[in-house]
Amino acid sequence: MSKFKVYDETITAVNKKNQSLVNKATTWLNKYHTSNDARNMIDSLYGDDNKQWEKINAKCESQWDVYTMYLDELPKYEIKNIEKSKLYLNN
């Protein structure tokens, strides 16, 4: 049995013209959370001073950057809608 959470919440955009960007942003947020869980597991098992952790950390940073790139294209009210979701507040 896997110890990774599954992040599959669908967020409906406040304005339907923004739904595509909201979907893209939340897809990358899902990817980030999954990688972040793996990073935390590697950190707890081996610490943050090894190649596995460095590789997954770089992946997390890259995924977060893509997520924030999509946020930059959204209006503030859509960002607030994402940030108040369970997906954003996963822990």
pLDDT in tens, 4-35: 455 556 889 999 999 999 999 999 999 999 99
C-alpha closest to that of 13 among 86, 72, 85: 85
Domain boundaries, the chain: 17-83
What pLDDT is attached to residue 5?
55
The two tokens of residue 29 are 């947020």
Q: What local confidence, expressed as pLDDT, does residue 77 receive?
A: 96
Query: Please, is 63 exposed, middle or buried when counting C-beta atoms within 10 Å of its C-beta (0-12, 13-18, 19+)?
Result: buried
User: What pLDDT shows up at residue 2?
Assistant: 44
Number of Cβ atoms within 10 Å of the Cβ of 4: 12
Tens of pLDDT, residue by residue over 48-78, are 788 999 999 999 999 999 999 999 999 999 9
Stronger pLDDT, 47 or 56, i.e. the higher one: 56
Q: Where are the alpha helices (DSSP H) in 1-91?
A: 19-46, 51-72, 76-83
Check whether 1 has a pLDDT greater than 50: no
The DSSP secondary-structure symbol of 11 reads -
The CA angle 67-65-50, to the nearest 5 degrees, is 120
